[in-house]
Structure 1
Amino acid sequence: MRPKKTILCVESNEQVLSVRTFLLETRGYKVIACETSRQALDVIQQSTPGSIDLLLTDLLLPQMDGNELVRRAKHIQPALPAMIVSGTVSSFDRAIAADAFLPKGASSAAELLERVRVLVARKRGPKKAVAPAPAYDYEPMVADQTTARAS
C-alpha cells in the first residue's frame, strides 16, 4: 500500500475547508486543515522538508493573502508545490506565486482532484533515472566539391 500524500489545505471559510478536506480525504490524501496563513506557516516551519506534498490555499485570506503565503512557504521549503484556488478571481494574474491556479466556481471537484494529483506526482519526480543518450563519434558530412558544382 502506498503511503498517503499530505496536503496542507488553507481556507478561511470553515464550511469550504470542511468540504475540501472531506473531498481530499475520501480520495486517500492526508489533509492538514488550517483557517489562517499564520497557522499554515507554523505547520510548514515545524514539518520536515518533503513531508508535505502540496500547499492548497485560497487566494483571499485574512491578514496574508494566498500569494504571500505561497511565497513565504516556498522560502521555507522551496520544493513545496502550491496551488491557489479562488472564487473571486477568474484569471491567473492574481495568483502568480503558485504552481497552479484554479477558479472555484468555474471548476468541478474532479478538476480539483486531477490538478492535485498532477502536482503531487510532479513533486515526487520521475520514478526511475533516465539514462543519458549514447554519444556517437561521427565525421561531419562534407559535400564533395565536384558534386556541389554539378548541381
Structure 2
Amino acid sequence: MRPKKTILCVDNNEQALSVRTFLLETRGYRVIPALSSQHALEVVEQSVPGSIDLLLSDLIMPQMDGNELVRRAKQLHPGLPSMIVSGTVNAFDRAMHADVFLPKGASSAAEMIERIRVLVARKRGPKKAIHPTLTQKPEAHVYATAS
C-alpha cells in the first residue's frame, strides 16, 4: 500500500476545518489540521522538507492571511505545493503566492479533491519516461518538422 500523502490544512473556522479534514481523510489523505496561520507556520518550520505534500489554507484569517502563510512557508520549503480557498470570490488577486486558488461555494468538493490530487502528484515529480513503442503503435507517432 502506498504511503498516505500529508496535507497541512489551515482555517480559523473550526467547523470548516473539521469538514475539510473529514473530506480529505475519507479520500485517504493524512491531515494535519491548524486553526491559525501561526500554528501552521510552526508545523512547516518543524517539518522535514518533503514531509508535507500540500499546504491547503483559507485566505481570510486574523493576524496572518493565507497568502502570507503560503509566502512564508515557501521560503522555508520552496517546493511545497499550496492551494488557497476563499469565500471571497474576487480575492484571487490576493492569493498570488499559491499554486491554485479555489473560491468556496463556487467549486465543488469533487473539484477541490481533483485539484489536490493533481498538485500532490506534481510534487512527486515527472514519471519515468517509457519508450513510446511500448505504449503506442508506430503509426501513432507525430513528428515535428522545423520551419
Asked whether the two chains share a fold, i.e. TM above 0.5, the reply is: yes
TM-score calculated relative to the size of structure 2: 0.86
- The residue correspondences of 1:1-151 to structure 2 (distance < 5 A) are 1-128=1-128
- Looking at structure 2, the residues matched to 95 and 44 of structure 1 have their Cα atoms a distance apart, in angstroms, of 19
Code of the aligned partner of 1:106:
A
- Looking at structure 2, the residues matched to 105 and 97 of structure 1 have their Cα atoms a distance apart, in angstroms, of 21
Code of the aligned partner of 2:45:
Q
Deviation at 1:127, TM superposition (A): 2.1
- Looking at structure 1, the residues matched to 90 and 17 of structure 2 have their Cα atoms a distance apart, in angstroms, of 20
Q: Which runs of 5+ in 1 are unaligned?
A: 132-151
Q: Which runs of 5+ in 2 are unaligned?
A: 132-147
Residue 135 of structure 1 corresponds to: none
* Residues paired across the two proteins, number: 131
Structure 1 runs (4+) greater than 2 angstroms displaced: 89-92
Per-residue CA shift, 1:111-132, capped at 9, x if unaligned? Answer: 000000000001111121579x
For the aligned residue pairs, the C-alpha RMSD in angstroms reads: 1.3
TM-score calculated relative to the size of structure 1: 0.84
Code of the aligned partner of 1:116:
I
